[in-house]
Amino acid sequence: MNDMKLILETWKRFENTIEIQDYRPVILFENNQRTEIDFITLIERKDLSDSSLSKILSESFDLELEEILKEGLLSKVGDFFSSTAMKAKALIERGKLQGLLLLNKLKDGLASMQKSHPKLFKIGIIVLTAIAAYFLMDILTGSEAHAAISDMDQDSLRLVAGSLETLSSEAMQQGNMEAGKALQTAIKGLQQAHQMEDEMKFSQYIDSIKGVSEDAHTALTHAMEMGREVAREAGAGDEDSRTFLTKILRLGKLVLSSQP
């Protein structure tokens, strides 16, 4: 994966809104022994290839999720959701596309509640999908977007687009066409932009799809309204669900407040 300087701009507006910096450590298995490493230390290692970092983060995510699900507490899943979102932010700030992949991995983290808590699952998926659409549009409208996107290798493009397409499809399966279509349009924008050598044509094309951000805003707003309603229905007797929703809605609020 190529370094993308414009990604540093993508989360710039989050600097004054996101307060959580308590990253969970990354789980490693070396010589069949489990160890843990500080997340920031890991992602700033210069001797680690992009493919190795992707593999480590993916395996750690799966292991940590398995352990959390065994505890059976939605509040724990909410903590994991928030922590992973912050890890995605940190990766993106450092120009690492693994941040995009972690957003998609969060879909796997929510799958555990699809049958037992379908409303919570739906809200989480919509919030994630809208965030991903916002993120891609921020990339595409960045000041160095043309040069950075043109330089992306095909493997990176396919990996990012493929992972986010599954998230878009899930949102539409949950009945939220706004979020799903917004992300699909943003993905198509990334793919089309990658093929444009002329910077003027690139800018004109991006201008033609800027409505995606408005669609994502609408989808995220609706998801948050749904979340508040579900929280009211849960009442004091289901504090676990209320705690989970609070964490998801807080993340959505941070995204909305970061938009100009």
pLDDT digits (tens, 9 = 90+) for 91-103: 866 767 788 788 8
| pLDDT confidence of residue 96 | 76
Name residue 34's beta-bridge partners.
Answer: 29
Number of C-beta neighbours around residue 33 at 10 A: 7
Cα distance between residue 98 and residue 43, in whole Å: 10
Q: Which range has highest mean pLDDT (204-218, 225-239, 240-254)?
A: 204-218
| pLDDT confidence of residue 26 | 93
| pLDDT confidence of residue 21 | 54
Distances (CA, A) of 28 to 7, 55, 157, 169, 236: 27, 11, 27, 31, 39
253, 85 contact by CB (below 8 A) = no
Going from N- to C-terminal start, the domains of the chain cover: 7-258
Helix (H, G, I), strand (E, B) or coil at 169: helix
Cα distance between residue 184 and residue 187, in whole Å: 5
List, for residues 205-227, the tens digit of each pLDDT value: 888 888 888 888 888 888 888 88
Model confidence at 37, pLDDT cuts 50, 70, 90, reads very high
Percent of the chain beyond pLDDT 90? 9
Full-prediction pTM beyond 0.85? no
